[in-house]
Amino acid sequence: MNVSIEETGVDSVRLRPSGYIDLDTVRHLRRLAERLTLTPRSTLVLDLAGVEFMDSAGLTFLVWLRRTVDASGATLEVADVQPAVGKVLRLTGIDVFLSITGDGPPAQRDPSIAS
């Protein structure tokens, strides 16, 4: 997994992992996220355009990141979710816990998935 971090404005940071977010990679991603300085005016954009796969460790990371960002008073946006990852988010219900935005495939509930 590769990760880039880009300051996209005075109070905005884009964290852009690529590859897999899984048990083997999530520790590295979490360490990078812990180093970010977030203020109540900050927005952290987690850009998932390059993420092909996410397992339960990745889902746990998303929950941790949301809680960490909320505790700082900042805002978390998840952007450009790819279909395979979006399906995992929908099946687990985590999609309703996150603010999903961007140009990627829509992260709306699949009506074929029973609640």
- Which residue ranges make up each domain of the chain? 2-101
Model confidence band, residue 10 (pLDDT cutoffs 50, 70, 90): confident
Average pLDDT over residues 79-85: 94
Nearest of 67, 88, 72, 65 to residue 15 by alpha carbon: 65
Average pLDDT over residues 8-36: 94
Nearest of 25, 38, 26, 37 to residue 75 by alpha carbon: 38
CA gap 77, 92 in Å, rounded: 18
pLDDT at 102: 63
Looking at 3.30.750.24, 1.10.287.3510, 3.40.50.970, 3.20.20.220, the CATH number of the domain 2-101 comes to 3.30.750.24
pTM of the model: 0.86
pLDDT at 111: 39
Mean pLDDT of the chain: 88
pLDDT at 1: 86
